[in-house]
Chains A and B, each alone.
Chain A
């Protein structure tokens, strides 16, 4: 193990990796701090660049970028009451209320330190749990992988969304996209409409850039003159009083870190959900729940820790099973496939240095977060003043060239545009976009493992429940679907009246 850590450290200490980390930190901080640009969008736009990198710097780039972006989302939440990324939405009101009370420095100081601590907690769990789970995963067959992917899909719909019906629709659309191209049983072309480009399926990268980049640009087309009144902050003062506050809420941080990592490991639910759940738990156990939403620092400590802790958690199922923990790790899996690497337990044996590099880059990114975060807060006024009517067209250009660069094909630019329109329409009608991505990544895993299992067992469905691990995963999946209806069912069984 020491050898692998050493190899990873040597690789990470090269000057071009240092440069990658620095550039991606700045990129992540900028994207996070500018409202309307999300970490997922940033990851999708980073992919064309990672295409030209080795696997290791590509992964390091994404880890650094996402850690910084999720923290930086807190900056506009505190200063202009607009969360920079959805992960900061849970505690935006509290942050802004405190800013109005003249405590902006304390809020931002707490934001940056809790983000770093949360991120480090996540990294520790990733480092300890991933290798253990990988040992278990080595014994998995197609039956277990089928259920695991099905559990991921179910969690996406039932847990990670406020409207399971609409999340389900988005998921089915993603799964449908995954069926386009040659099928795995007979090599029969499905839904290709005679197009040779579609024989290999809907290309993941242009689709991501369209869904998260172009749709966001289209949504921003109405608000070219958005200028917000920005509160000026004294960056030098952000760390005063932070230690006292955090010591007071040390147990909150442990709890929130745990919640964050758990939500992260759960396939399909990302940092925004982690923040909301940590916020709710914080309020439930707080001595002053009446202050929540009106300028309490306690939920900022909780949710601010949880969303960054979640990020490393998201990598656990992604690395161990090849099942994404959120939409960013879905993109990571796409990147690994592009590099000819198959995420799964074998990667721990065949490319251990890659796995250790991910661990170490989480640690480096979260330590660097404090000085970089300080600098970002110092220049926050300028960052928030970047004119959107220049920024949006510039991002569109990156979307176009990035989509083209993967296969050097204009077809992909068209695909990006179509996905952008789809994403725009979906978001406007309350249909979340993230399940589409998870569907596209998990679709082939679900279908292949199901078909392989069926053919292997000569179409005997009971085999899905006869292996113990498969049976447990299967029951968990079914429970995910039934759980929301359980209270109603129990009431009916007792003969009471179920609420309409």
Chain B
């Protein structure tokens, strides 16, 4: 997902400005010397300057390359698969405590493999077996309290 340097640079200018704005109410040290605000302000400033330079360079090179066809994204398999991963991990975070790792982990693995064109039967077997191994490794050997949810083991 490449967008033009002009836009990327402008994004960093905004981010730099927001960082500086965020420090405006920070307390100062004795005698008015800057304390917590000094480092973030320098960073925000540098980010804005470098962002500005990237933007100017983009304008000079007439870099308007946008390899994203925004209106055709719904047809772009790579994009959809990436979204499936993002939504999948979010769903995992939201539901894993209720459903448990054994269910939610296997489900996430299955859905992604299915999206990547692994045959459903193979995907199901790999998802369940691999997820159980991960569970055993982390929950049993390393004692990580993975949520048990509806299945207990």
Interface residues of A (CB under 8 A from B): 48-49, 52, 165-166, 168-169, 172-173, 175-176, 179, 183, 185-186, 188, 190-191, 214, 217-218, 221-225, 387-390, 392-394, 396-398, 400-401, 404-405, 408, 410, 413-414, 417, 421, 424-425, 428-431, 446-447, 450-451, 454-455, 459
Contacts and interface: CB of A to CB of B under 8 A. Distances in A.
Contacts of B130: 394, 397
Given A169-B47, A169-B54, A183-B36, A394 B109 contact: yes
B89 interface: yes
Contact of B126 (A169, A214, A217, A390): A390
Contact of A186 (B35, B93, B101, B117): B35
B131 A186 contact: no
Nearest to A389: B116
Interface residues of B, number: 60
Contacts of B73: none
Given A169-B50, A429-B8, A221 B36 contact: no
B92 to A, nearest CB: 7
B35 A413 contact: no
A408 B36 CA distance: 30
B90 A398 contact: no
Given A172-B46, A389-B113, A405-B144, A165 B36 contact: no
A414 B126 CA distance: 25
Interface string B27-47: 101000101101110011011
A166 B116 contact: no
Contact of A404 (B54, B143, B146): B146
A contacts with B: majority SS: helix
A428 B29 CA distance: 42
B81 A397 contact: no
Given A175-B43, A429-B3, A397 B22 contact: no
B71 interface: no
Interface in B68-94: 77-78, 81-82, 85-86, 89-90, 92-93
Nearest to A421: B86
Nearest to B56: A165
B29 A186 contact: yes
B17 interface: no
A390 B142 CA distance: 24
Contacts of B105: 397, 400-401
Contacts of A172: 16, 43, 46-47, 50
Given A169-B47, A188-B35, 17 more contacts: A172-B16, A176-B40, A176-B43, A179-B39, A185-B36, A223-B78, A224-B116, A400-B105, A401-B134, A405-B144, A413-B93, A414-B93, A417-B93, A425-B1, A447-B39, A451-B38, A459-B33
B53 interface: yes
Contacts of B44: 176
A428 B117 contact: no
Given A186-B29, A421-B86, A176 B47 contact: yes
A417 B46 contact: no
Interface in B90-105: 90, 92-93, 96-97, 101, 105
B142 A49 contact: yes
Contacts of A410: 93, 96-97
B140 interface: no
B142 A188 contact: no
Contacts of A52: 142-143
A191 B22 contact: yes
Contact of B134 (A49, A176, A398, A451): A398
B26 A397 contact: no
A84 to B, nearest CB: 21
21 contacts: A49-B142, A165-B53, A166-B54, A172-B43, A179-B43, A188-B36, A191-B40, A388-B116, A389-B118, A390-B113, A393-B108, A393-B116, A400-B92, A401-B101, A408-B144, A408-B145, A410-B96, A413-B93, A424-B1, A447-B39, A450-B39
A485 to B, nearest CB: 14
Contact of A179 (B40, B77, B85, B116): B40
5 nearest interchain CB pairs?
A222-B78, A389-B116, A221-B81, A183-B36, A224-B116
